[in-house]
Amino acid sequence: MSEQKYRTQLYLDEDQYRFLKEQSTRYGISMAGVVRSLIEREIEKGQEVPEDDPIFRLGREGFATGRRNGSTNHDLYIYGQAKEQPEKGKATP
């Protein structure tokens, strides 16, 4: 079963992050696995998202976090520290 996977990035508030982290620990799966499970559960319900749902305003109206480099420095903003960069010429594990 080779399905196409798509990478995405989410901004969560503290309560959402804590919930995700707790569920991840509780079930022994990654935080991404928890998100995928929650999405699958919603898909299985078969309910349509109402067209006037506020989530769609984000796509139409956009929003700003005030950070111009969030996509390149997300580790810093999420974890409080930048990811260590491997030395040139050395492979990462």
Q: How confident is the model at residue 1 (pLDDT cuts 50, 70, 90)?
A: very low
**Contact status, residue 19 vs residue 25, Cβ threshold 8 Å:** no
**Contact status, residue 31 vs residue 21, Cβ threshold 8 Å:** yes
| CB atoms inside a 10 Å sphere around CB 87 | 7
Closest CA to 79 of 17, 33, 22: 17
Rounded distance between C-alpha atoms, residue 8 and residue 6, angstroms: 7
pLDDT in tens, 62-85: 666 677 776 677 667 666 776 666
Amino acid making up residue 13: D
**Contact status, residue 35 vs residue 10, Cβ threshold 8 Å:** yes
**Contact status, residue 34 vs residue 27, Cβ threshold 8 Å:** yes
Contacts 24+ apart (CB under 8 A), 51-55: none
pTM of the model: 0.47
Q: How confident is the model at residue 19 (pLDDT cuts 50, 70, 90)?
A: very high
Amino acid making up residue 70: G
The mean per-residue pLDDT over the stretch 55-67 comes to 66
pLDDT in tens, 20-51: 999 999 999 999 999 999 999 888 887 776 77
